[in-house]
Amino acid sequence: MAQEPQTAQGSVAAPATRANWARNLFVETPPGASFPYGETRLPRNQGVLWHFGILAAVSLSLMMLTGVFLAMNYVVGVDPFATIQYLMRDVSYGWLIRLMHMAGASIFFIVAYVNLARGIYYGTYKAPRARIWQLGLVTLILMQITAYTGYLLPWGQMSYWSTLALAWTLGGIPFVGHGVVRWILGGDTLGAATLTHFYTFHILFAFAVVGAVYVHIRAIRENGPSNRDGVEAVAAEDVLPFHPYYTVRAGLAVLVFLILCSVVVFFIPYTFEHAANFLPADPLVVPSNIVPQWYLLPFYAITRCAQNSFIALVLVLAAWAVLFALPWLDTSATRSARYRPIFRPAFWAFIVLVILLGWAGAHPTTTGWLLLDRLFTLLYFVFFLIVLPLIGAIETPTPLPVPASPRLGGPASGAWPSVTTLPGTRGLETS
């Protein structure tokens, strides 16, 4: 075999400018060419967590597949609650596709959030991959809108009231807020018009998610895959061909993931559902505690901090804005938390904080919980706006491994040329 790859990244293109990147996207490289399977090389130091991208793609595919067949059986009509029961009881295998879709939404969000946390921990959002990170966030926003609109469709008590509660967050838009909410809902409260709107939104945004994922993957392709050490692969020794190595490894990950999904769908499908959502929506009876789906809870908690709906809206937009600005808020030149002794505990504190935020959001707005809402929201912003930049300034990272070193599977000599000439290595000069 005389094949000698000249560059480690296989066919990764030279760094693209913003303009030609956009043009490349659809014109110069057709979608089919976006994943040249045979010649793709992946860094050997990708960890197990890098599978979550593929798992998210599998989740999305299953959601689209079950969604299509649900859409064919769901009746957008006067009694949507009975439609779900019809699906569960009368349609052949209706229970299966419905439970797959219902539990699948939560599974999809678990996978997406692990993917997101992975990005933060290993600093994969740093140059040149800020675009990948931001496209991932766009995907997540579209996912949340899709899930939010979809949750109304069973027309249970919790569907009804959490949809109404969250819709009025938009009421905080100055001057036109009320009109915007009325326009989205088709009324001041939820009715048949809302259901038709949300059914359509749900399908539209689901396809928007597919589009966003496609662009996200394209960006990964063009900026090169990240890895757990945060150093760029420079030599043939640093990478492995996607096929057969990662084909079989990802296949294994997908199968294990499917087994876990099956356990949820077939044995504990109602884990993520509120008991109140088995009651048909009743506009006259408010549930004792309105709780949105768990994956929206941290943001829901943030919106609850302020009584003023404008401030609430600003807060939740700011919460997203700091995520988008993360590549610049994190000032450290070292990417991976494996080499950042202070960032590492701070990251875990942040994860605990987000869980606490969701936990507070799941409780009624009594004085005590509201206080916790506000405390955790404050800490959320403190983490991004103060702690992260500060850590970058005071932290001394531990030495990074040299690419193509024995650690990464290369020869023992370690005498390799400068890494700075390859794409995606900016920021390494200083460390």
Q: Which positions lie near other proteins, rule CB under 8 A?
A: 1, 3-5, 8, 41, 44-45, 65-66, 69, 72-73, 82, 85-86, 88-97, 99, 236-241, 244-245, 248-249, 251-252, 255-256, 258-259, 262-263, 265-267, 269-270, 275-276, 278-279, 366-368, 371, 406-411
Indicate the residue type of 63. Answer: M
At closest approach, how far in Å is the CB of 410 from other proteins?
8
Closer to other proteins at the Cβ: 307 or 430?
Answer: 307
At closest approach, how far in Å is the CB of 84 from other proteins?
9
At closest approach, how far in Å is the CB of 329 from other proteins?
31
At closest approach, how far in Å is the CB of 107 from other proteins?
15
Rounded Cα–Cα distance for residues 306 and 314 (Å): 10
At closest approach, how far in Å is the CB of 6 from other proteins?
10
Closer to other proteins at the Cβ: 248 or 321?
Answer: 248
Closer to other proteins at the Cβ: 280 or 423?
Answer: 280
**DSSP characters for 39-77?**
G-EEETT--GGGHHHHHHHHHHHHHHHHHHHHHHH---S
Closer to other proteins at the Cβ: 10 or 172?
Answer: 10
Distances in Å between the Cα of 6 and the Cα atoms of 41, 136, 155, 236, 238 are 12, 31, 58, 8, 13
Torsion, CA 295, CA 298, CA 302, CA 305, rounded to 10 = 110
Instruction: Say if CB 184 and CB 197 are below 8 A apart.
Output: yes
At closest approach, how far in Å is the CB of 365 from other proteins?
12
Q: Which residues contact 212 (CB under 8 A, 6 or more apart)?
A: 135, 138, 139, 142
At closest approach, how far in Å is the CB of 266 from other proteins?
2
Instruction: Say if CB 139 and CB 116 are below 8 A apart.
Output: no
Closer to other proteins at the Cβ: 23 or 407?
Answer: 407
Q: Two tokens at 243?
A: 């096929």
How far is residue 334 CA from its own chain's centroid? 23
Q: Which of 364, 383, 387, 391 is nearest to 318 (CA)?
A: 383
Q: Two tokens at 412?
A: 């023992």
Q: How many CB atoms lie within 10 A of CB 174?
A: 7
Closer to other proteins at the Cβ: 123 or 269?
Answer: 269
At closest approach, how far in Å is the CB of 99 from other proteins?
7
Q: What angle do CA 269, 271, 273 make, to 5 degrees?
A: 95
Closer to other proteins at the Cβ: 60 or 276?
Answer: 276
Closer to other proteins at the Cβ: 68 or 355?
Answer: 68
